[in-house]
Amino acid sequence: MKYAIPILCVILLLCAGCKKEEPPPPPPEKPPPPTADELYKEIRDGLAAVYAAEPRDAVIELAAVAQVLQAFPGLVQKCGLPDNKANGDQALEKVRADFDRMLKDTPDLGKWRFVRCVLDLYKLLPGGQEKFKKYATLDHRTDLMLARPQVRSTGFVEVDGELYAFLRVIERDSGETDAIRVREGEEFYQDINGNNVLKLIRIIGNKEKLEIEYLPLADTWEIIGAGKSK
């Protein structure tokens, strides 16, 4: 009997050591993939500067253009993940519809930097190059408008009964300026190919305004005459 209790204790200890361990808890359930609306909202948030610049009086800064063009490919890639491609495609089609609306409404406002940004984003959408063909003319026009020199009136002079305007032409890319004397109906300011790109159509009223034509697009606009207030 004196050996029974110790033997019993050893048996109990061995049994305790052989007890089957509890299985680990199951891993947490994988969250459901984002919905099309959630992906669309994420893209809109990433392109907030673009959507904010859509209204008539809003502008988009160059730094913001660079930022959204850098961020957008990653947002498009996320929408193309295999486990959620259907929702991603729906989100991107909503974005494409937004871009179509922007490109329809804003060119007439003269917001060419904004138009250039949206066109560049459009090309990054899946199938963008093929669907972009309808904007080929606008794409070319935008490049030309962004290259259009700025013109300022600096004064007038009358020579032998003929009125001349003094103009300062500012190259958009370099900021270089040229001082030019020109008459009504005269073409001026050559591009790199030696072709004149500007024309003074007329001097309006008592030198209040001048009408200038941008020859590559036959586009006209008015500038304030020197010494006149807006």
pLDDT in tens, 158-170: 999 899 999 999 9
Q: Is residue 7 part of a domain?
A: no
- The answer to whether position 67 is within a domain reads yes
pLDDT at 106: 75
Q: Are residues 41 and 98 in the same domain?
A: yes
In a domain, residue 139? The reply is yes
Indicate if 45 and 110 belong to the same structural domain.
yes
- My answer on whether 141 and 169 are in the same domain is no
Tokens in use for 35? Answer: 């919905």
Where would I find the beta strands (DSSP E) of the chain?
150-159, 162-170, 177-183, 187-190, 196-204, 209-214, 219-224
At residue 27, does pLDDT exceed 60?
yes
Q: Residue 146 corresponds to which tokens in the numbers above?
A: 């962004």
Q: Using CA atoms, how far apart are residues 186 and 162, in angstroms rounded to an integer?
A: 13
Query: Would 207 be classed as within a structural domain?
Result: yes
Of the residues 129, 146, 163, the one at which a domain ends: 146
Examine the domain organization and report whether 133 and 154 are in the same domain: no
pLDDT at 175 over 60: yes
- Single pTM value for the model: 0.78
Look at residue 229 and tell me if it is in a domain.
no
Please report whether residue 18 resides in a domain: no
Number of domains in the chain: 2
How confident is residue 174, by pLDDT bands cut at 50, 70 and 90?
confident
Q: pLDDT > 90: what percent of the chain?
A: 65
Domain ends where: 146, 167, 184?
146
Domain range for residue 198?
148-224
